[in-house]
Amino acid sequence: MEVTRDRAWATLTRYTTSEALLRHALAVEAAVRAYARKLGGDEELWGAVALLHDFDYEIHPTLDKHPQDGAATLREEGYPEEVIEGVLSHANHLGLPRDMPLKKALFACDELAGFVHACGLVRPDGIETLEPRSVRKKLKQPSFAAGVNREDVYEGAAELGVDLDEHIAFVIEALRPIAPQLGLRTAS
Ligand SMILES: [Fe+2]
Ligand SMILES: [Fe+2]
């Protein structure tokens, strides 16, 4: 099977109706695609894995099923093992090695994309003028976007081998073009 964005989007939207989850998928996709361009990865493949990483979360909202039961569905649909391995690798509870740049990028962007999104939702201009400094400050406030695992954010950047501030700036920039799709306000 050829892995394309259209196919990944079709799979995602067959199992996911929640707007919040679709926005999460789009945000992680944008960030991971940007890293594919930066690191010379296969952008279509990396983007598809990012779109699909939580595709089963709505039907499997618990960690005894997500994402491992979703992997079985992806296999049935004919996705190649590199997609399935990539999807599985984002789940810390499975303890799989993140031994490829795609896996490192996905893990590094997963929680952070959600956090940057949350930061943008409480600002008058969304993420247009958001800076790493203010994201880092909010990371230190446990009550803000409490569902985001801070350890995963720090660990993800370290595993990817990027400076946290640069990583945050990179993710913000990757999300700016899709701010309207993420429900973020824009200045214009
Ligand atoms: Fe997940
Ligand atoms: Fe996720």
- Ligand showing the shortest atom-to-Cα distance for residue 107: 2
| 1 C-alpha to ligand 1 centroid (Å) | 24
Burial of residue 176, with CB atoms counted within 10 A of its CB: 0-12 exposed, 13-18 middle, 19 or more buried: middle
| 52 C-alpha to ligand 1 centroid (Å) | 9
Is the CB of residue 55 less than 8 Å from the CB of residue 12?
yes
| 173 C-alpha to ligand 2 centroid (Å) | 19
pLDDT tens track for 61-107: 999 999 999 999 999 999 999 999 999 999 999 999 999 999 999 99
CA 25 distance to own-chain centroid? 6
| 188 C-alpha to ligand 1 centroid (Å) | 33
Give the confidence band of 1 by pLDDT, cuts at 50, 70, 90: confident
